[in-house]
Amino acid sequence: MPGLLSQENRNALARGLLDTTQAASNNAASTVAAPVDALAWALRKFGAPIPQAPFGGSDWMKAQGLTRDVQSPVANVIGESIGNVLPIVAAAKAPQIANALLKAGENAAARAPMNAATRNQAGAIVWHGSPHKFDRFDASKIGTGEGAQVYGHGLYLAESPEVARMYQKNTGRVYQIDTPNGRQPLDWDKPEHQAAALLHNSNRNRADALANPFQSQEVRDILNSGMPLPAVKIQDPSLYKVDLPDDQIAKMLDWDKPLSQQAPEVRSLIEQERKRIGGGASTGEQAYKELMFEARMQGNRSASDAMRNNAEALEASRRLQELGIPGIRYLDGGSRGAGSGTSNFVVFPGNEGLLNILERNGQPIR
């Protein structure tokens, strides 16, 4: 029925609909932006280096063109009514918003890492909890920390420092022993090492050590002999602050996302692998597990053998690293239920040189 309205009236109707839609969008956006603005203001009062236009705040939304002024009073009234009934749940997300603001402020305030792998480009600040003390990452030590390797074979890092502190705490202390070849991890399968640890825990008193009823006769004989035993040292776990280059994060396989939402370069490489192995993966997780299954078939291992070792995951990580995918990104436990939030990262063997340790236990690494 276009003939019932003049062109001028049709244009006016279109403008009215656009203004009403924009007003509804403005109102919904303000519901999201209000807690962000309030939290940003409060965090700045406590000295946190929060940007002036944080992600999700009103200034950020305006700069992105998501909000604009609407002149029509009628459109404003109707739009605000529509916006009020939209399913906005930003208030319930206040903890995640606060965490994201603090993370953004920390990254903004962090010094630019001198990472040769990225030609002095500043990367994301991530964290790593470990029972070991070191100055650089070593892929040969993978599995000697918390060791679960649930999301692929590699070096695990967390966007949230609290997640890394949890791993730091869970790994516990490391017992070491002085040997003629230097300090080494205590080997609980060696009776003399067991005797040394028992003596250490008994404050160097052999009588107290012998009073422990749970030791083997071989260990008791060593203690009774009076032979000198090596010194035992206890090393507390460490927390590492690390620079992970942004351009490498962009190339990572996202464990949680469908292939259609992966970065274009990653999606192209995975699709080529699907064709090569005849896979039908639809998510990052499935793509990785298909490569694990391929490794299992090539190795002719039974399912029970596969459960007892990490060989398939190692081969899957090696294959993706060869293709130019440096690692895996996945939502951490606190974010998984919400479907968004902070992530953990798995850096594949061969790419540990990308990681630049900035601090260990709050002290700069020089």
Walk along the chain (366 residues) and give the pLDDT tens digit of each residue: 444 556 666 556 556 555 655 555 555 556 655 666 666 665 555 555 555 566 666 665 666 555 666 566 654 555 455 444 444 444 444 455 455 545 544 444 443 443 333 334 457 999 999 888 899 999 887 866 555 678 999 999 999 999 999 988 887 677 788 877 777 777 878 888 888 888 877 777 888 888 877 788 998 898 999 888 888 887 788 999 999 999 999 999 999 999 999 999 999 999 999 999 988 889 999 999 999 999 888 875 554 454 445 789 999 999 999 999 999 999 999 898 888 899 999 999 999 999 999 999 999 987
> Token pair of 138, please?
């070593």
Neighbouring C-alpha atoms within 13 Å toward the C-beta of 361: 12
N- to C-terminal Cα distance for the chain? 76
pLDDT of residue 72: 61
Domain ranges of the chain: 2-93, 107-172+240-364, 174-235
pTM of the model: 0.58
Q: Tokens standing for 139? A: 């892929």
Radius of gyration of the chain measured on its C-alpha atoms: 28
Joined tokens for residue 349: 């063997």
How high is the pLDDT of residue 162?
Answer: 94
Give the pLDDT score at 111. 38
Which residue(s) pair with 359 in the sheet? Answer: 241, 364
Q: Which of these, 29, 57, 31, 30, lies nearest to 43 by C-alpha position?
A: 57
Q: Which tokens belong to 134?
A: 């070191």
Q: How far is CA 190 from CA 180, 187, 195, 216, 223, in A?
A: 16, 6, 9, 11, 14
**Is 359 in contact with 365 (CB distance < 8 Å)?**
yes
Q: Could you give the strand order of the β-sheet that contains 182-185, starting from the edge strand earlier in sequence? A: 182-185, 174-179, 232-235
Question: Within a 13 Å sphere around the CA of 108, how many CA atoms are in the beta-carbon half?
Answer: 14
pLDDT at residue 236, rounded to an integer: 83
What are residue 327's DSSP bridge partners? 347
